[in-house]
Chains A and B, each alone.
Chain A
Amino acid sequence: MIKHLKSAADLDAATATLILDTAGEMAALAGREVKKLPTLRGRTVVNLFYEDSTRTRISFEAAAKRLSADVINFSAKGSSVSKGESLKDTALTLQAMGADAVVIRHPASGAPHRLASWVDGSVINAGDGTHEHPTQALLDAYTMRSRLGKIEGLKVAIVGDVLHSRVARSNVLLLTTLGAHVTVVGPPTLIPLDVAAALAPGIKVTYDLDSVLADSDVVMMLRVQTERMQDSYFPSAREYSRRYGLDAPRMRKLPEHAIVMHPGPMNRGMEIAPEVADSSRSTIVEQVANGVSARMAVLYLLLGGKA
């Protein structure tokens, strides 16, 4: 087993499948009266969050607690970071406290890689800048597999701001490893060709959402980050929504079995229409529940055995 989870590229097909299988067993626990396992008793997991996050932090916290690990939550606000402490000094502090795993979210791409060289414990990337968010990709893959039965051969369209999306990057890497056919869709400004080519070999690019819908098993909508709207990547929110938003007429073009995913938080009415988000095709609530199972699997596989 690998020691850190910094990138979805750290996972080969066998390891990724092991994580998904393990997540399946963890998910079975959610239906039990006692949802706690003694597995990580005495281990310490630090949630080191330099960016705001609700679902990812809570998801990791729930996952660690269900495995009986001790959880320390650290958010940059109200800590020594606001007094100017560097990531390295914070890391050395955590190291001195004996953290067995550090879950890090940081606005700078690559921060988890630096952190891994300073601490002895495992480092889990919970989102770094515009780079990667591997546990999101794992929970998305788990959701696809539980809804559609497999991943190999699935046609997956990832729609939106591919350039800035760590969710998209990790998903492309993981899904390609697992044998899915990925097409990225969005305005040309948000999918420069060199970026798309660098993501993974064999990835397809299109700027026309309507052309891929009829032949997609999965449509994954990315959040339009409001801070990008000021940067003139597209003329207006309304135009983006018209061309790349998933509304009810577009949803009707999808095959019968196709599912609609969104990593959250959603801009309802922007990239996804409310009637789509609330439809039976939407897996958005399932994704949150699956997030806890996938993260339990990652924590168990990284921390459960001999260090």
Chain B
Amino acid sequence: MAPPRADTETVPGKVILSGSDLHRVVDRIAHQILEKTSGATGTVLLGIPTRGVPLAHRLAARIHAFEGIDIPVGALDITLYRDDLRLHATRALGRTEIPGDGLDGRRVILVDDVLFSGRTVRAALDALSDVGRPSSVQLAVLVDRGHRELPIRADYVGKNIPTALSEKVRVSLAETDDGVDEVKLYGDAA
């Protein structure tokens, strides 16, 4: 289940993507994946928990709807590879599920909700190399909010949102957040 996010619960945020916007963005990324990978053969989608996992499943469902092909979908938990473990209380682990045929020689597309510092993706790349040896790795994110701290970029971006460091981007997905699909931006006044 999604961790509680009480800090943004009380103040009204600014809606960046509504439910229908979000669906269109997912549709577009699915099309882009098909285009850029010439039909998505030999491709595996790996969602990063928590919200990357339902996003990966949605992308796979849309790709199936457009072209009738089934792409393996999995989950890659990166908690044990984080570089900030010692800065916080111990974190509970998420699920890692690697599709049955493995990742060796395949094109892996990592899927996450928000791209921010790039540290999560760095950890995911480390985790990935312990699980298998993909032929290539790409990154798909719903929102890119800038402020990268590492040389990492996304191959597929749903929406670029210029933010201040003090702001918070909150992605809600029906699967993890009580049936609500939206992306909101919360200011530092909170």
With both chains docked as a complex, state the minimum distance between the C-beta of A224 and any C-beta of chain B, in angstroms: 38
Which A residues from 278 to 305 make CB contacts under 8 A with B?
Answer: 300-302, 304-305
Using C-beta atoms within 8 Å of the partner chain, give the interface range for chain B.
Answer: 20 to 34
A36 near B87 with CB under 8 A, answer no
Given the interface pairs A32-B131, A39-B80, the reply to whether A25 lies near B88 with Cβ below 8 Å is no
Q: Is B189 among interface residues, defined by CB-CB distance under 8 A?
A: no
Contact partners of B80 in chain A: CB under 8 A: 37-39, 67, 300, 304
A306 near B88 with CB under 8 A, answer yes
Q: Is A1 among interface residues, defined by CB-CB distance under 8 A?
A: yes
B90 near A1 with CB under 8 A, answer yes
The stretch of B9-17, B91-99, B111-119, B145-153 that contacts the partner chain: B91-99
A305 near B91 with CB under 8 A, answer yes
With both chains docked as a complex, state the minimum distance between the C-beta of B181 and any C-beta of chain A, in angstroms: 28
A22 near B87 with CB under 8 A, answer no
A300 near B90 with CB under 8 A, answer yes
With both chains docked as a complex, state the minimum distance between the C-beta of A212 and any C-beta of chain B, in angstroms: 37
Measured CA separation A28–B95 after assembly (Å): 10
Contact partners of A22 in chain B: CB under 8 A: 92-93
Contact partners of B87 in chain A: CB under 8 A: 306
Q: Is B81 among interface residues, defined by CB-CB distance under 8 A?
A: yes
Given the interface pairs A32-B131, A36-B130, A39-B80, the reply to whether A305 lies near B96 with Cβ below 8 Å is no
Name the prevailing secondary structure of the A interface residues. loop
Measured CA separation A269–B102 after assembly (Å): 44
Most chain B beta-carbon neighbours within 10 Å: one of A18, A301, A305:
A305
Measured CA separation A77–B85 after assembly (Å): 37
Q: Is A12 among interface residues, defined by CB-CB distance under 8 A?
A: no
A38 near B90 with CB under 8 A, answer no
Measured CA separation A38–B85 after assembly (Å): 11
B88 near A305 with CB under 8 A, answer yes
Q: Which 9 A-B pairs have the closest CB atoms?
A: A305-B90, A34-B130, A39-B80, A25-B93, A305-B89, A37-B80, A304-B90, A1-B90, A301-B90
